[in-house]
């Protein structure tokens, strides 16, 4: 016999009134268990062409698309100016290279660091290169991006205390992020006004595209969007999100041109940033009239970015001089040491031509200098073997993730032809060497490349995504999503403990069973609605029916990271209660549509009744 369609039930008694007011369903979703990216022109602000002073007839309002790559250690901003008459081939992607506190020096990115003044306001804080100026009274606040997803805090448990020790008053993570993004936005505004003037800036339509790690939970994305709103970039409905590896893939593909990759070739993007490493694999589906990718694996990654190499260096210091002496190092001396080590980190290749590396260690106590082996000129010597050991745990984690990506692609009958290393840590010569060695050792025929301008690839790719949109046409669901229902009971399918008698329909039902709308691993067409229809039954007494709060349809949306989503939700509390039915009573039947829209990294849930979208939807995260 065919299985009867499961019904969604909320058991409340009812006697039908003489006239029935139109129900006003509002659906509140509660996200549970959600712990869950031809060469592009690169121009600095000074090379940007001036705006037209006297637009021709039909000239449309210009638009600027701004991509923001807010990273754990560095932040980049790219942008492009367009209108509907701008030929696609003439659009130039610009990267902001001049920053407050950097003097005459230019940089494609600005440090994600800041120091509060005593008032604790962003308007008075030192940020970016300003926070690295000599003579400041304390170390800057760093790595705030890792505060948004609690699984990273397990890797750096001391991070919260470090931040708390450096702020004048308690602030939640969302406010710390919002303060930095506020200072960044003020600099973006200053950059445009200094070039074009305030009048032209006011005429511009501005769109922001922010990048996020592929492995972030929905809760982390929601906190990030809240910080973006607080910083004044616009409402979350207007902000576009794109995963960092997807943005990197778009930019890297354009930088490489059509030579290395052909139609239906597969490639893996390894975005190696400061805090996280994100990986995702794509298949090239089309070149013309628009480049199109298809995900062949879900985005994965982990907390194995370059900051963990830095952490290995500080652990080395602590082992050498002791924790007490380490804490006694002045902020100025520590900043100089970390700057020297950063230079070593990004240049290290483990080649035979350099066996010794030095770090300026002025400012250590005499005992600490002796323990660490600091020479008379104030330099701490690191051997090649020591530096390699600082890298290896992080590199090993990255190789494990790459191996899993290649394996997952193969499981879908896809062969990866190329690996692209992007991001700040992706520039590492040692990382490139180790990945190429791994490819040979494993017997893979895969080319490993570091594309041009890999450090700015994510910000530039975000702009390209904003200009063209939906380059990735098909995605792999990273989680399963569904709701809890009372299904028609089937012996052998449902547990006896869940069985109960439904005296309204005179059948046995199984309480609290999962109905999964989207299952992990399935392909989703980007930008297309996923519509699910569920019967919804409500029983009300006359008094309850007169109370508007009982006319609201309220439910819970569940997400599951497991490859095999369970039939029942995991929870301690039974949220689905029912009242006993009084003989002779009837019920009201409401049929609605749950609409799920997936657009890039944004997921929108809505409720539609009689083709009317109800906007009073609340999304909660735990």
**562 Cα distance to chain centroid:** 20
Per-residue pLDDT tens for 33-91?
Answer: 333 322 222 332 333 344 444 444 444 678 899 999 999 999 999 999 987 777 777 78
The CA angle 607-611-615, to the nearest 5 degrees, is: 40
Q: Are strands 612-614 and 93-95 parallel, antiparallel or unpaired?
A: unpaired
Q: Tokens 């659906």, residue?
A: 27
481 vs 84: CA distance, rounded Å: 39
pLDDT over 90 at 463, yes or no: yes
Q: Do 252-304+405-452+468-475 and 42-243 fall under one CATH topology?
A: yes
Question: Does the pLDDT of residue 619 top 60, yes or no?
Answer: no
**Do 536 and 483 meet the contact criterion of CB atoms below 8 Å apart?**
no
Q: Which of 221-225, 429-433, 511-515, 569-573 has the lowest mean pLDDT?
A: 569-573
Distance CA 44, CA 95 (A): 6
For residues 346-366, average pLDDT: 88
Among residues 607, 595, 614, 589, which one has the least CA distance to residue 7? 589
| Triad 300, 301, 306: Cα angle to 5° | 160
- CB-based contacts of 534, cutoff 8 Å, min separation 6: 6, 7, 8, 483, 485, 515, 592, 594
State residue 238's pLDDT score: 87
* Rounded mean pLDDT, 284-305: 84
Express each pLDDT in 87-128 by its tens digit. Answer: 777 788 999 999 999 888 999 999 999 999 888 888 899 999
Query: Pick the residue with more confidence: 14 or 516?
Result: 516
Q: How would residue 536 be classed by pLDDT, with cut points 50, 70 and 90?
A: low
Tally of CA atoms within 13 A in the half-sphere of 335 that contains its CB: 19
Which band of pLDDT confidence, cut at 50, 70 and 90, is reported for residue 597?
low
Q: What is the band of 612 on the pLDDT scale with cuts at 50, 70, 90? A: low
State the DSSP code for 527. Answer: T
Residues 376-391, mean pLDDT to the nearest whole number: 92
pLDDT at 402 over 60: yes
The structural domains of the chain, with segments of one domain joined by +, span 8-35+479-621, 42-243, 252-304+405-452+468-475, 307-391
Contact 146, 153 (CB under 8 A): yes
Query: Among 538, 573, 532, which residue's Cα sits nearest to residue 554?
Result: 538
The answer to whether the CB of 380 falls within 8 A of the CB of 358 is yes
Architecture in CATH for domain 42-243: 2-Layer Sandwich (3.30)
Q: How far apart are CA 336 and CA 549, in angstroms?
A: 62
Q: Which residues lie closer than 8 Å to 507 by C-beta, 6 or more apart?
A: 488, 489, 501
| Token pair recorded at residue 424 | 């700040």
- Residue 445: exposure state from Cβ atoms within 10 A (0-12, 13-18, ≥19): exposed
The per-residue pLDDT for range 179-237, each reduced to its tens digit, is 999 999 999 999 999 988 998 888 888 999 999 998 888 889 999 999 999 999 998 88
- So what's the pLDDT on residue 530? 65
Residue 35: per-residue pLDDT: 31
Confidence bin at 590 (pLDDT 50/70/90): low
Between CA 104 and CA 194 the distance in angstroms is: 16
Mean pLDDT along residues 489-515: 86
What's the pLDDT score for residue 571? 55
| Domain at 252-304+405-452+468-475: CATH architecture | 2-Layer Sandwich (3.30)
The pLDDT, as a whole number, for residue 413 is 93
How confident is the prediction for the chain on average, in pLDDT?
Answer: 80
Query: pLDDT tens digit string along 131-175?
Result: 988 878 788 898 899 888 877 776 677 777 778 778 888 889 999
Percent of the chain with pLDDT over 90: 36
Whether residue 546 has pLDDT greater than 90: no
Is-contact 23 590, C-beta < 8 A? yes
């Amino acid at each position: 016999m065919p299985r009867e369609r499961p019904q969604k039930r909320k058991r409340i008694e009812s006697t039908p009134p003489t006239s029935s007011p139109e129900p006003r369903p509002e659906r509140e979703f509660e996200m549970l268990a959600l712990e869950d990216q031809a060469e592009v022109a690169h121009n600095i602000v000074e090379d940007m062409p001036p705006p037209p002073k006297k637009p021709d007839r039909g000239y449309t309002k210009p638009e600027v698309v701004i991509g923001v790559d807010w990273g754990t250690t560095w932040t980049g901003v790219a942008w492009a100016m367009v209108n509907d008459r701008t030929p696609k081939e003439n659009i130039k992607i610009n990267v902001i290279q001049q920053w407050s506190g950097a003097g005459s020096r230019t940089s494609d990115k600005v440090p994600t660091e800041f120091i509060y003044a005593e008032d604790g306001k962003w308007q008075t804080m030192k940020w970016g290169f300003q926070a690295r100026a000599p003579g400041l009274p304390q170390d800057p606040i760093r790595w705030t991006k890792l505060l948004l997803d609690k699984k990273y805090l397990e890797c750096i448990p001391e991070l919260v205390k470090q931040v708390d020790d450096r702020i004048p008053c308690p602030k939640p993570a969302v406010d710390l992020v919002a303060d930095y993004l506020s200072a960044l936005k003020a600099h973006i505004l200053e950059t445009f006004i200094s070039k074009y003037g305030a009048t032209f800036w006011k005429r511009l339509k501005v769109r922001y595209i922010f990048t996020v790690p592929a492995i972030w939970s929905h809760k982390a994305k929601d906190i990030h969007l809240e910080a973006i709103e607080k910083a004044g970039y616009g409402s979350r409905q207007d902000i576009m999100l794109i995963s960092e590896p997807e943005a990197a893939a778009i930019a890297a593909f354009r930088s490489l041109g059509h030579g290395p990759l052909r139609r239906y070739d597969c490639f893996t993007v390894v975005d190696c940033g400061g805090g996280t490493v994100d990986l995702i694999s794509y298949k090239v589906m089309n070149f013309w009239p628009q480049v199109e990718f298809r995900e062949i694996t879900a985005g994965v990654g982990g907390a194995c970015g370059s900051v963990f190499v830095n952490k290995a260096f500080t652990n080395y210091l602590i082992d050498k001089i002791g924790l007490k002496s380490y804490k006694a190092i002045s902020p100025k001396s520590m900043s100089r040491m970390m700057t020297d080590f950063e230079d070593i980190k990004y240049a290290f290749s483990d080649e035979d031509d350099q066996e010794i590396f030095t770090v300026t260690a002025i400012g250590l106590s005499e005992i600490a200098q002796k323990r660490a082996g600091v020479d008379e000129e104030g330099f701490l010597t690191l051997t090649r073997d020591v530096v390699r050991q600082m890298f290896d745990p992080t590199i090993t984690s990255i190789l494990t993730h790459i191996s899993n990506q290649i394996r997952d692609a193969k499981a879908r009958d896809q062969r990866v032809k190329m690996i692209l290393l992007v991001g700040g840590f992706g520039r590492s010569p040692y990382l490139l060497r180790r990945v190429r060695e791994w490819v040979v050792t494993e017997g893979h025929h895969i080319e490993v490349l570091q594309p041009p301008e890999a450090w700015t690839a994510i910000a530039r790719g975000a702009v390209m995504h904003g200009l063209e949109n939906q380059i990735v046409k098909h995605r792999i669901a990273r989680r399963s999503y569904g709701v809890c229902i009372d299904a028609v009971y089937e012996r052998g399918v449902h547990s006896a403990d869940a069985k109960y008698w439904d005296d309204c329909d005179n059948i046995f039902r199984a309480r609290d069973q999962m109905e999964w709308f989207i299952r992990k691993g399935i392909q989703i067409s980007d930008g297309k609605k996923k519509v699910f229809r569920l019967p919804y039954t409500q029983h009300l007494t006359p008094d309850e029916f007169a109370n508007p709060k009982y006319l609201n349809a309220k439910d819970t949306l569940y997400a599951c990271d497991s490859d095999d989503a369970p039939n029942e939700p995991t929870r301690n509390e039974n949220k689905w209660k029912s009242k006993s039915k009084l003989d002779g009573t009837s019920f009201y039947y409401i049929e609605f549509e749950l609409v799920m829209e997936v657009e890039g990294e944004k997921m929108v849930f809505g409720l539609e009744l009689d083709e009317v979208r109800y906007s009073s939807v609340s999304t909660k995260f735990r």
